[in-house]
Structure 1
Amino acid sequence: MSHFAQMSKAELVRALEQLEPVLVARDALSATVQDLQRHQIELEMQNRALREAQQALEQSHHRYVDLYDFAPVAYLTLDARACIQELNLTAAELLRQERSRLVGRPFVSFLEGADVGRLLQHVRRCLAEGGAGSLELKLRIAGTRADVRLHTAPFPSGAPQGGQVCRVAMVDITELREAQAKLALSERLASLGTLAAGVAHELNNPLAFIAQCLELARLRVGEGAVGGARGEVQDLLVDAAVGTEQLRTIVRDLHTFARAEEDHRERLDVREVLGRSVRMAQGEIRHRARLVRDEAEVSPVLANEGRLGQVFLNLLVNAARAIQEGRADQNEIRVTTRNEGESVVVEVRDTGQGIPPERMARIFDPFFTTRSEGQGLGLGLSISQSLVSRMGGELTVESELGRGSLFRVRLPAAPAEHASPTPLPPRQPLRRPTRRGRILIVDDEPKLALTLGMLLEDAHEVTRCLKARDALELIRAGPLFDAILCDLMMPEMTGEQLFEAVSATQPEQARRMIFMTGGAFTAGGQDFLAHVKNPRLIKPFRVDELEAMLALIVG
């Protein structure tokens, strides 16, 4: 019997009244559950979309990281102190270190000393002024050198405190610079080839002069010259010495121009460099025009002597070849130097044929030439502009067809040196050795070794060696030599190899070596002379130069 069966009618009515709200609440609860289930489905759909978007974002990020890390260009981010904030794998490979060890490291630690200030100034300007920029630097990486070009731009740092960083794209241009150096050397050698006839003429004149003086001296001595004749012989020998000095100047000019040296810069007077280039170009100029030199005193510049000389020589030869031969009295090549503000200006103006207006835009393009075939490769002006640009200057041209051309080299003046608080002492005469020393001469040229010994043997005890290996045995056997005059380029064993062998066992003797060279023709010889601290004499040298050098070594 059910519970409801025992209830009265009134009790059943009251129970029914109480049951009705429960039924209503149950329907409402069911609807709420349905709404929750619908929201749950919607949330699941949104979560699924978010997961798909996150997955796509991660894939995009991985693709970006791969593109960034394995790009063919090295990328870095530098802060205001030029410290590396991040970099890609290509940059780490270029710097030859693991990426984790490079983050936070100052980038200037990889730079040549002269470039540190330039980079810091460039980064500060990038962050302060904004805008893209570029800069070429020399790096030292694992004991080797590399030339790089930096392309920079400022970007927000993304840090909570704000600020900017310098984003850098770094390109290794070492091979490009080596190719340009070889091209420049080829152009120099080509220029030397075209100037050979003029140089031969310049050399033949003093050679003939010297030969005649010496022949006359020989005849006077053979005739038993006495009294006034003896004085005449002395005068002839003095004249021969003057001619020899002219030859020496020409040879040194050739050596300065032709050497393929490292881009070493020093304070230079452009007038001195210009003078050497003028002497080199005289063979081209003298039959075409009068040379007028209007050279005012100018500030020194920081430049490479050989390369600046190449620029001036190219401009002088171009000016001469713009003028036809045979009318030298009617044409002029004018060379001018002056200061303009903080710049030094050198101008080469000619009265030649001029440059057509349609060719002016291409005058500095490689392999573009206005000359007929066989008259040049069209590289001189292109290389000259590149060299001037790398010295921080500019090369420009003005020309009028039929009236001539003006080439203008503008270089920044070198920073002023700190003035000395006391006046410079007067120039002292060249010193000579004050005591008799033991001198060893090492040279494979018998006549040079003989005559050099004859010059020294009155004041010193002289020993000659024609082979470096024999000299090494003498040095090791002792006693010590006060000075060792050593040729650099010798067969079997070079002066550099002798120096290394002596340094290994007798460093004091190695420090007393003086190297004699007429030009280091090998890359190894050039590098050795660039780094060794020993004194050197450039052949042909004067006796007073030799004595001054010995005074420093012997005492």
Structure 2
Amino acid sequence: MSEYASLSRAELARALESLDSTPLAASELKFLLRELQRHQLELEMQNRELRETQHALEESRGRYVDLYDFAPMACVSLDGRACIRELNLTGASLLRRDRPHLLGQPFIPFVEPQDLSRFLQHVRQCLLGETQSTELTLRVGKERRLVRLHSAPFDGGEPHGHLCRTALLDITELRQMQLRLSLTERLATVGTLAAGVAHEINNPLTFVLGSLQLAARRLLNPSGSGTEEMDALLKYLTDARVGAERIQNIVRDLGTFSHPDERPPAPIDVRQVLELSVKMAQGELRHRARLVREYGPVPDVLADGSRLGQVFLNLLVNAAQAIPEGHAEQHEVRLRTWAEERTVCVEVRDTGQGIPPELLGRIFDPFFTTKAVGKGIGLGLSISHGLVTALGGELGVESEVGRGSVFRVRLPMAPGRSAASPTPPRQEVLRRARLLIVDDEPLLAQTLQMLLEPRHDVTVLHDAREALEQLRNGTAYDAILCDVMMAEMTGEQFYEELSRTAPEQTFRLIFMTGGAFTQTARDFLARVPNARLLKPFHAEELDKLLAPLLR
């Protein structure tokens, strides 16, 4: 067979003709035919294997494409200019655009401006060969989506070169759930403190009622000269006002812990926040332990006072509940503050029952609790740990069974600020103006009217729809004081309707609220730029808000 391997087709044909004239031609032709048939079968087998391999590759590629396109997370590959080179269908769905329209386009327009520098640094470091993880906010139409980016470098070959291959996890709902859990734990803590808060309110409330009764009795049965009577009445009314302001402060302190408002961190003194938390926890502490304060001088930290107060409140309540009731003189809760290097330290130490060593490593786990049913849901320490970590700090614990526990919060100092020279407040004389009060609480509206009428022309309406009708017909006011929570029409509905019928008057709205206790009302107040007045308030606070409208 080897002697024919190098022959051409024509040469093979001539060789076959010559073979016919030889005696052995028939046997050699049969041998050659068998060899050809064998090679044909081998080629057919190889072709079949190739086809099966190609089919398997196509199936594998199809499965990969399906897994990539329909993965539960968005996947995108970015080049050195942060342009989209690859994108799965989940990613296109996240960005609310068709995939063909996104390929080759820059990703930057989808990033919130305040997060843009972090995003570009993330891509840059990834292309340099580092695996990166970052959280930032995306702008998708009118929505804002919080995402976590996990990126790794990838060689995309020609023509793209090195790519930043990124998985985007939409954690918006997760953060909202964490916020709701945080609020749940906060409200559970406030519920635990309800009895203590009632005690704190009942004392000044008794004082207020007693002072008012004395004033009324003096009015009905005067027993001295006119000057003496006026002095006595003024004293009773002043005492009543002091007691009412104390109640006001307690209610506002309680609101600090029950409202989940997201405020930007600001420089704050941890000792003030700690004292506010002590007020809230007094009901739990009073019958269990003596409170000892060792407040050393500390610089400010950068934090949200509400969130930091929740941390301290959780630690104080836990310290109190670790101590049995009835032997306060034998136990203490000691609070310490001090500074070391660039760190502010806060310590809460109790002489309670302590934590067993086998449980100490789990106390910051969500839903882990050693308390009895109804005393907590096991989120307090977990949330506190998360809040402190988010501020760049640390929350640590030491404990010994029978000797008590020590919780230490360490927070970075706030960046230094140059002290601004104090500017004395300028007393403004407000011009006489036309004011409208819209409130469905008659006594409150009447009191507010009596406070304002000596200096202004005041109209009071208890029905927001009647107020809208007046404004719609052209009646104009210099300022409109409107309650947020009303039965027939809310302050938000009043605002929206006024925006359509008399938009120029919306800028003169000042909202009054006794605490926007619904999420819708809180969202509304966060959305509109109008001033708001928290009930109860002083006349001076109202004048300060009226001043820009009445200049």
TM-superposed CA distance for 1:29, in Å, is 13
5 Å matches for 1:130-149?
Answer: 130-131=130-131, 133-149=132-148
Gap change, CA 1:162 and 1:477, over 3 Å in 2: closer
- The answer to whether residue 524 in structure 2 is matched with residue 528 in structure 1 is yes
Q: Do residues 278 (structure 1) and 274 (structure 2) align?
A: no
Moved more, 44-53 or 115-124: 44-53
Amino acid at match of 1:334: R
Please say if residues 434 and 456 of structure 2, whose CA atoms lie closer than 8 Å, have aligned partners that are also in contact. Answer: yes
Aligned to 1:12: none
Query: 1:106 and 1:317, CA in 2 relative to 1: closer, same or farther beyond 3 A?
Result: farther
- The 1:355–1:60 alpha-carbon spacing in structure 2 relative to 1, beyond 3 Å, is same
Letter aligned with residue 431 of structure 2: R
User: What CA distance in whole angstroms lies between the structure 1 residues aligned with 2:219 and 2:103?
Assistant: 80
Note closer, same or farther for the CA distance 1:40–1:325 as it changes in structure 2 (3 Å cut).
same
Q: Quick one: which amino acid aligns to residue 386 of structure 1?
A: G
How has the CA–CA distance of structure 1 residues 341 and 154 changed in structure 2, closer, same or farther, with 3 Å as cutoff? farther
In 2, distance between residues paired with 1:415 and 1:110?
Answer: 31
Instruction: Give 1:509's match in structure 2, choosing from 501, 505, 510.
Output: 505
Contact 1:323 1:352 in 2 (8 A): yes
The 1:230/1:376 distance shift into structure 2, 3 A limit, reads same
Query: How far did 1:48 drift?
Result: 6.7
Higher alpha-carbon Rg = 1
Deviation at residue 294 of structure 1 after TM alignment: 1.4
Question: Which amino acid in the other structure matches residue 222 of structure 1?
Answer: L
TM-aligned CA distance change 1:276 to 1:288, over 3 Å: same
Match for residue 457 of structure 2?
461
Relative distance call for 1:413 and 1:104 in structure 2 (3 A) is farther
Looking at structure 1, the residues matched to 98 and 416 of structure 2 have their Cα atoms a distance apart, in angstroms, of 42
Compared CA separation, residues 490 and 374, structure 1 to 2 (3 A):
closer
1:299 alignment partner in structure 2: 300
Does the residue aligned with 1:227 lie in a helix, a strand or coil? helix
Letter in 1 for 2:509: M
Aligned partner (choices 444, 455, 459) of residue 440 of structure 2: 444
Work out the CA distance in 2 between the residues paired with 1:252 and 1:327: 31
Mapped partners of 1:442, 1:161: distance in 2: 64
- TM-score, normalised via structure 1 length: 0.85
Aligned to 1:13: none
Query: Match for residue 205 of structure 1?
Result: 203
Which residue matches 1:549? 545
TM-score of the pair, normalised by structure 2: 0.85
List runs of 5+ in structure 2 lacking aligned partners: 1-10, 20-31
For 1:300 and 1:388, locate their aligned partners in 2 and report how far apart those are by CA, in whole Å.
Answer: 12
Cα separation, 2, equivalents of 1:397 and 1:202: 31
**Aligned equivalent of 1:480:** 476
Cα drift, residue 361 of structure 1: 1.4
Whole-Å separation in 2 of the counterparts to 1:233 and 1:471: 38
- Offset of 1:391 from its aligned partner? 4.2
- 1:351-430 aligned at under 5 Å gives the runs 351-414=351-414, 424-429=420-425
Tell me: CA distance 1:339–1:477, structure 2 relative to 1, closer, same or farther (3 Å): farther
Which runs of structure 2 are paired with 1:195-344 in the superposition (5 Å)?
195-224=193-222, 225=224, 226-261=226-261, 263-271=262-270, 272-289=272-289, 290-303=291-304, 305-344=305-344
Read off the aligned partner of 2:459 and give its amino acid letter.
T
Question: Deviation at 1:416?
Answer: 5.5
When structure 1 is superposed on structure 2, of 235-244 and 113-122 the one drifting more is 113-122
Q: In structure 2, the residue corresponding to 1:519 is in which secondary structure?
A: coil
1:126–1:152 Cα contact (<8 Å) kept: yes
Listed one character per residue, the Cα deviations across residues 55-82 of structure 1 (whole Å, up to 9, x for unaligned) are: 4433322221121111222212234554
Alpha-carbon distance in 2 for matches of 1:86, 1:121: 20
Name the counterpart of 1:350: 350
Equivalent residue letter for 1:298: P
Structure 1 residues 341-350 or 493-502, which shifts more?
341-350
Query: Once the two structures are superposed, what CA deviation does each residue of 1:144-180 show, in whole Å capped at 9, x if it has no partner?
Result: 23333333333334346854x3322222333333333
CA contact (8 A) 1:487 1:517 kept: yes
Question: Could you tell me whether the CA contact under 8 Å between 2:76 and 2:91 is conserved in 1?
Answer: yes
Task: State how far apart, in whole Å, the 2-side matches of 1:288 and 1:124 are.
Answer: 57
Q: Tell me how far apart the structure 1 counterparts of residues 359 and 505 of structure 2 sit (CA, whole Å).
A: 61
Q: How far has the Cα of 1:460 moved from its partner?
A: 0.7
104 and 232 in structure 1: CA distance in 2 versus 1, 3 angstrom threshold: farther
Q: Specify every segment of 5 or more residues in structure 1 that has no aligned partner in the other structure, as ranges.
A: 1-22
Separation in structure 1 between the aligned mates of residue 489 and residue 505 of structure 2, nearest angstrom: 18
The 2-side partners of 1:446 and 1:30 are apart by: 126
Matched, 1:180 2:178: yes
Instruction: Tell me, in whole angstroms, the C-alpha distance in 2 between the residues paired with 1:159 and 1:393.
Output: 46
Superposed CA RMSD in Å reads 3.2
For the residue of structure 2 that corresponds to 1:326, the secondary structure is coil
Residues 356-403 of structure 1: CA distance to partner in whole angstroms, max 9, x if unpaired?
Answer: 100011111222212233322222112222333444444322222222
In structure 2, the partner of 1:17 is none
Which region of structure 1 is more displaced relative to structure 2, 443-452 or 52-61?
52-61
Q: Structure 1 residue 444: deviation in Å?
A: 0.6
Whether the aligned pair in 2 keeps the contact of 1:285 and 1:291 (CA below 8 Å) is no
Q: Is the 8 A contact 2:301 2:411 kept in 1?
A: no
Question: Deviation of residue 351 (structure 1)?
Answer: 2.4
Q: Is the 8 A contact 2:345 2:411 kept in 1?
A: yes
Q: CA offset at residue 181 of structure 1?
A: 2.6
Q: How much has 1:122 moved relative to structure 2? A: 3.5
Measured in 1, the distance between the counterparts of 2:301 and 2:68 equals: 46
User: 1:73-92: CA deviations, max 9, x gaps?
Assistant: 22122345544332211111
Paired residue type of 1:198 = G
1-structure distance, mates of 2:160, 2:146: 35
Q: Secondary structure at the match of 2:402?
A: coil
* SS of match in other structure, 1:464: strand
The offset of 1:536, in angstroms, is: 0.5
User: What are the equivalent positions in structure 2 for 1:161-176 lying under 5 Å apart?
Assistant: 163=162, 165-176=163-174
CA separation in 2, counterparts of 1:384 and 1:428? 39
Shift of 1:237: 1.9
